[in-house]
Structure 1
């Protein structure tokens, strides 16, 4: 089965609660990141937070790329996304509510995440964001490209 490598990240302005999500999908992770800038997809998200934006961006990318039938390998620096699968049973048991029985802020996204995860069965790989260039392999450089494009788009929006 063919594999698609999905790199996602986002950048949020906490003051305006506006952020940019970015992703790139590759069949091969050996390409030079500098040759791939034009392939990074960007989208603005309103009324968001860093945690919410990471999920919104991933779900957007899944919805745009998940129909291919290929195995999807997701590269993310989001601890929240990495931990969601192991939190699923507790979230469902508590009906997506906190210990104080308040609805969780991102419950809508968690529900959608689990629905899509069941359909696509992606593999999640944790990458370290923000590391020195001399320590980066090509996977890290590809992730840095997505991170950089999201940050650049957010800076442009600020003016």
Structure 2
């Protein structure tokens, strides 16, 4: 597994850092199967968040999670977990960190669909979570269709 720091920012006398752990031999290039990845976020003293997911051929990733089909997706990057501390959320560093992750992907020449299945049903959480993904991060909301696909967000890079 390779580890690369892609985000570093001075904050409150320390440094907030995000690093991705990924399989360099498979990420973005494997023709079959999926490759897990994780992002650890911290300030060298405590855990401030984690992102976890899978990367692989577009149709494999889309099919794994009952998402709306997209035959044009060359690759897929699925975000299973997006957990950040209240401090990161309150300061807007959650969106800045995700933007840095997107730049890391683009620098590697990655193209495909970035997807996140929306699992929350609590009405107090649904709207703020949708707004974060759609308004702040620029994803498209795909509403669920019974028997076809679950609610999710997608960003398409070609």
TM-score (norm 2): 0.31
1 or 2, which has the higher helix percentage? 1
Larger RCO, structures 1/2 (Cα 8 Å, 6+ apart): 1
TM-score (norm 1): 0.31
1 or 2, which has the higher strand percentage? 2
